[in-house]
Structures are given as structure tokens and as C-alpha cells.
Structure 1
């Protein structure tokens, strides 16, 4: 009887640990809100507008935080996704015809998709920012906008401070956008810290032009920057 009880207890502990781990995984990734917005915009809305490129280190930063999945899967929002966070549809994979995405994606194809996916976010930064930006500043804002969405960026204190030319105060604003669905996410904290470091010109490529999270993660919210913000709510 004692052995049965011990086995049952162990299974219960394993189940709870598994559920906790699954919950943490679901909270670690937030779908690109810019892409979600794109599904609700007319096709070709930004047609004819050339998107300013971002730095390689910024592309590597986005790839790192989006994660790499060569096969189609349902993200925590039940959106069918593949590659570096590319949204195939705003519904589960099982409910659609995957078409070309029924087969695994190569990293080269995934990178090409990411370049296309970030275009509307990059164009939004070009549209809303009224001052000159360095490549580092532009790339950081593009990464931020790709994650939180174009509408949230347009209404942000971050954009207001950028347009005022107060870049130091603007850099401190990144660290406020670290909540999703009411929870502060470690992944968002690190992503915002890395974007702020890039904006300040303090993020350098590692070996083979790779992104190193340890160079910028964990810097946190600057004192006096303001209350934290949920990226699904905005300011």
C-alpha cells in the first residue's frame, strides 16, 4: 500500500511540474502584434513604400526572441505559426490547409519570411518618427513595433519622446512594456532590455555576427520611467 501511495504521489508531482512547465512555455512567447494587425489590414496597404532595412544584430535579436520552429504549430494564442514567429493564420493549424507550410521550413526560407513580416513594422516607424534616427535606433524601434504592434507604438510615450529628441528618456521607456495578459514575462523583460541597449548603441554582434542575450538581458526598468505596460493593452 505504501508503494502505491508513493507512486501516486510521484505521479501527482510530475503532473503538477509538467503543467507548470507548460504554463511557463505558454507565457514565454507572445505573437507578433504587428502581424496580427496585418491580418486585419487591406492587402497591399503598404505597397509601393520601401521599408528601411534593420541591422543584422537586430534581425538576430528578433530571431532569438521569436524562436525557431521549422514545422507548423499552434502558438499559445492558438494561431498557426512557423519559422521565426511567422503567423500562417489566426486560427489553429488543424483547421486550415497548410499549403506550402505543410512541409518543414529551411532557416533561409524562415529568414526571408521574417524580413517580409517586419516590413509593415519598419514602415510604421518611418511614418510615425519625425526625427532622424541612427541605424541602431531605427532597428530597436522596428523590433519593438514588430512585437507590440504598430497601433501601440503610435500611441506610446516612447514615440512621443523620440519625436521630442529626448533619446535618453525614450530608451528608458522600452523597459515598461514587459507585461502580457496581466503577467510580467521574463522573456519580454530581456527583449526590452536588449532593444534599449541597441537603441543606445550599446549592443554589439558576437562571434559570427550572432546575438548574445547575456550582453543586455536583465537590465530592468529604469527608475522613474513609469508603470509597466501590458502589450495587449498599451498606454
Structure 2
């Protein structure tokens, strides 16, 4: 009984379960796709994620707060991501729901040599005149979950190139997923129950849709059961 009580207590407090949030991320396809192997040692230090909604009267927005243990990668113990949403109805589509208009990340104070969002590559350059070759180093952006905290800026005009639009669309999807599904049902995503529930809902919707299609066909006065059950003779011949 004591062991069971201990397990139940840990489930209620995600901070007490080792690698709780890393396991949650790896159980969700959308998040596991952006978590890289070099992200995992850091995400093991993630203690909690909280959603903070802004006060009434302010633009409809929310912040995601990621609380970390002191670690060897960065000095921050709190990383934040804030989303600003359009709360007024769209004149062109008044029935459309709230829409994320922009997001702001935070600065990660990386320890020296620990910034996993950057990688140093070596390139060979040939001198046009002399033909000599030299090796130069260049720092480029590397794939990492922690790029989530450094989203591209949204121009005030709203005009963006296709690449920026794609990055922001993916970013918004992740932000909404964490806010609306992951945080409220974190324990169920940790155990995998939430994923099973999602699959069950999908199957039920599919079966219901099939049933509705069958009913529509049966109620259709032009639908001839005998004709459907007995296709023309030439269709039977091979």
C-alpha cells in the first residue's frame, strides 16, 4: 500500500517523476519530431510547464513557462514563450475563432560551449587569384527543440515570405498543443493513455461517419438494394 501511495503521489506531482516531461514529449508525435538527441539531456532537467493567461481587459494572450533545475547548459531556471492572440472578430469571417497573431521567446543564457542550437562547421575556400585553399569555420543554426524560444519576428505589415510563414505556422501549432492539451493532461500523455483516447475518438468518429453514409444510402429513394445486390450479368463474367 505504501508503494502504491508513493506512485500515486508522484503522478500528481510531475516534478517528482524522473524524465517526466521528456517522456511526455517523446510520446507526442508533433513534439518528438522536433526533439533532437542532443536536446534530451537538457529536457531531463525540465521540472514543470505552466500556462499563464493574461488579465482580463488585455489582449487575449498566454505564456508558457518552462521551469528547469539548475544545470550545466544554461543559467536560466525559467524559459518563457508568449503568444498574442486576436480577440476581436475578423470582419471577413466573424464566426472564426481566436487566432494567434504573434509570439515572443526569451534569451537563453548558454554556458560557454554548451549552446546546442548552434554548430560550427569547417569549409574550404579557394582564393580566386592565387588558387590557394584555406579552411574557415562558420557557425550555423542547428536543429533543436530550444529554437522554439527564438521564433522569427512577425513584421507589423504582416507580409512574410513562405519560409517564415511555414516556421510560424508550425510554431503556433506546437504552442497551442502544449497550452490546450499537453499541460492539462500531462500525466495521461506520460502514461500514454491520452494518446490511446485520441486514437479511440478517431476510430469512433470514423465508424459514426460510415454509419451515417450507410443510413443516407438506405433512405435515398433512388437507392435500389436489389440492383446493388445483383449486378448485371456481364459484370459477373470474366
Pick the structure with more helix per residue: 1
Pick the structure with more strand per residue: 2
Q: Same fold (TM over 0.5)?
A: no
- Give TM-score, length-normalised by structure 1: 0.22
Name which structure has the greater RCO, CA cutoff 8 Å, separation 6+: 1
- Give TM-score, length-normalised by structure 2: 0.22
